[in-house]
Chain A
Amino acid sequence: MVDVEETQTILSNKTMLEMYWTMLLSRKLDERAWIIHRQGKIAFHISGIGHEAAQVGAAFAMERGVDWLVPYYRDLAMLLAFGLTPKEFVLGLLGKKGEPSSGARQMPSHWSLRRANVVSHSSPVATQTPHASGIGLAIKMRGDRAVVLTSIGEGSTSQGEWYEGVNWAAIHQLPVIFLVENNEYAISVPQPKQMAVSSVAQKAKGLGLEGISVNGLDVLETYQSVKRAVDKARSGGGPTVIEVCVSRMTPHSSDDDDRSYRSKEEIEAMKAQDPLDMYRAHLMQEGVLNQAAEDELQTRAKAAVEEAIQFAEQAPFPDIEDASFPVFVEDIQNA
């Protein structure tokens, strides 16, 4: 169904390299976050390693600046594609002043980026799904051309909030894409203990909307599938559930140890299908990327991470007064 060659003719080499750069930068930042956690510099990290292709493919299919994103905590690569800077990400890790998601009130990777139409989300899962449908409803009521994409893990689709949110979009044919990043684990609980269907896409059937399943390790395949759903939503064709099958190549979070519930072999097999490696190989094979350019991108990514770490380490903590502010909107108006 998905024609990668066709996608390549749509995407310029420049865009394909930009997608690769975003995935690479996300990977390097994520790896560094694990290191500074183990150094005791941060209290928490939740990783998106193995999800980068799905996130970047989806983000590039959207009209960033016009469309809306209601993300979840694994979406570092998605957020970078939407304009979050490495410095801003590390400010969040370290809980420093100026962090744009929450002013360092929330744990790291609890995104919000008002300037890019990225909506704030919380830790309890699937709460964001009805918000996306509400945004879709408002877009439809106003007759705007934006669409909204909301992401989530497959385990979180067990929540009633997910069904209720998707049901709304299906009833009213709202311009919403429900992107389910299926990495087959909800912390330790594998997919068969989470749902009786073999694919999250099948859940869409019972709610009366289109559901598709995509290889989320392939950035171009994801791009093409999400683009089609975005175009459909924008032209009034309604919502889509898109399952992107990805790998969670790390434990759930810095507080988890996945050796207690999955084998070394399983993790080795995932690493052999690393979406970043596969996309790099593809770009080299197609002549879009050569070794010299790759070396330069690696150096640039390393430098960007280093610069972000140094910047954030030197940044001040928030003022103590910030802790009581702003509970109500009046607190901002009176400040």
Chain B
Amino acid sequence: MPEVTLIEGIRQAMDEELARDENVFIVGEDVGPRGGVFRATEGLYEKYGGERVLDSPLAELSIVGVGIGAALYGLRPICEIQFADFIHPAFNQIVNEAARMCYRSNGEWQVPMVIRAPYGGGIGGGLYHSQSVEAFFAHVPGLKVVIPSNPYDAKGLLKSAIRDPNPVIYFEPKKGYRLIKGEIPEDEEVLVPIGAANVSRPGTDLTVIAYGMMHYYTLQAAQAAESKGIDVEVIDLRTITPIDKKTILASVQKTGKVLIVYEDNLTGGFGAEISAILAEDAFTYLDAPIRRLAGPDVPAAPYSHPLQNWFMLDPKKISDAIQELAEF
């Protein structure tokens, strides 16, 4: 099997779905001849034409709002928001419109659409090219929020998201676009179901729950912990809403200790929700307090390299937290 990058998995998913279903189209800034600022849509404009790989005006809410209209008519838009930091103008359209359409029309109108956005820091992006914004959307009933951590899942989850009849927010760990590589089979269809977490590393001493870029770092940290004699189980959430409680609870029942790792600010981040689920449903399994390792409560990752490093989690910070929890 060929080893490809995470962004290649994303590109393959869109390529295959554009070929499979004529209702699928891509809309966003620079997605056309430029192939996207990160090259996620590279070659697709040439292959499918400017109508199905459509450059939008520089106006994010219109990308989502126009996408919603097209979805109401029966198309399946893939809306690209160039950076998750720029999704906020579209918040009204996502939260008040896309998410509520099915409920507010008693199911008469549906919005099958995907909103893709690169998220996260570590690339010198400063305050406005580094944000992790998943918690805002995880709070909203009617949205699914998906965050892949490797090329196979990136492809399989995106294909599932495009076929999903609901609005799906699909956040891509931009730091991992080319850093994270993995195998994707060429001769079979790759589909990963939305809503299923993955035990990416089995272990017995403690559980670490992560997603996206932090999952990639967590696997490295777990490797480092192994050399210290700590056997870590790692769960890759893959989908944060709807969350796979069953997989989480089964793991915590086995290990009795949990560390939740997320790149977003600590307070009100999605790890807080996981922590609440564990406090309610896993209390009797726990041998130690639930621990969260997250970004500090400052507005975002600063630009300057040492300041960015201070903000960002890394394998070392995660393995330190693992050791601390193991010793509890």
Contacts and interface: CB of A to CB of B under 8 A. Distances in A.
A127 B59 CA distance: 14
Given A138-B70, A141-B51, A167-B59, A130 B65 contact: yes
A161 B102 contact: no
Nearest to A136: B69
Nearest to A120: B105
A164 B61 contact: yes
B72 A119 contact: yes
Given A120-B109, A122-B97, A329-B166, A167 B69 contact: no
Contact of A171 (B57, B67, B110, B112): B57
Interface string A119-143: 1101010010111111111110110
A134 B70 contact: yes
Interface of B: 25, 51, 56-57, 59, 61-62, 64-75, 77, 89, 92-93, 96-97, 100-110, 112, 141-142, 144, 165-166
Interface in A215-254: none
Contacts of A102: 104-106
Contacts of B112: 329
Contact of A114 (B73, B89, B105, B144): B105
Contacts of B166: 328-330
B104 A105 contact: yes
Contacts of A161: 61-62, 65, 92-93
Contacts of A138: 69-70, 73-75
B62 A164 contact: yes
Contacts of A124: 92, 96
Contact of B73 (A106, A110, A127, A139): A139
Contacts of B56: 168
Interface of A is mostly: helix
Given A134-B65, A141-B51, A167-B57, A112 B73 contact: no
Contact of A130 (B68, B103, B104, B110): B68
Given A167-B62, A328-B142, A120 B104 contact: yes
A110 B105 CA distance: 10
* Interface bracket on A: 35 or more
B65 A165 contact: yes
B30 to A, nearest CB: 16
Contact of A103 (B70, B73, B101, B106): B106
A168 B57 contact: yes
26 contacts: A70-B69, A102-B104, A102-B106, A105-B104, A112-B108, A122-B100, A124-B92, A127-B65, A130-B61, A131-B65, A134-B66, A134-B69, A134-B72, A135-B72, A138-B75, A161-B62, A164-B57, A164-B62, A168-B56, A327-B141, A327-B142, A329-B110, A329-B166, A330-B165, A330-B166, A332-B102
Contacts of B71: 134
Contact of A328 (B75, B102, B108): B102
Interface of A: 68, 70, 100-103, 105-106, 110, 112, 114, 119-120, 122, 124, 127, 129-139, 141-142, 160-161, 164-165, 167-168, 171, 322, 325-332
Contacts of B69: 70, 130-138
A328 B144 CA distance: 9
Contacts of B59: 164, 167
A141 B107 CA distance: 25
Given A127-B93, A135-B70, A326 B65 contact: no
B326 to A, nearest CB: 39
Nearest to B74: A138
A47 B70 CA distance: 30
Contact of B67 (A134, A136, A327): A134
A171 B92 CA distance: 23
Contacts of A168: 56-57, 62, 66
Contacts of B67: 134
A16 B140 CA distance: 47
Contacts of A131: 65-66, 68-69, 72, 97
Contact of B107 (A132, A135, A329): A329
Contacts of A328: 102, 142, 144, 166
Contacts of A332: 102, 107
Contact of A327 (B65, B70, B96, B103): B103
Contacts of B97: 122, 127, 131
Given A131-B68, A161-B65, A164-B62, A329 B104 contact: no
A270 to B, nearest CB: 33
A136 B104 CA distance: 22
Contacts of A141: 25, 51, 70, 75
Given A168-B56, A168-B57, A328-B144, 18 more contacts: A70-B69, A103-B106, A106-B104, A110-B104, A130-B65, A130-B69, A131-B97, A132-B69, A134-B65, A134-B66, A134-B71, A160-B61, A161-B65, A322-B106, A326-B106, A328-B142, A329-B165, A330-B166
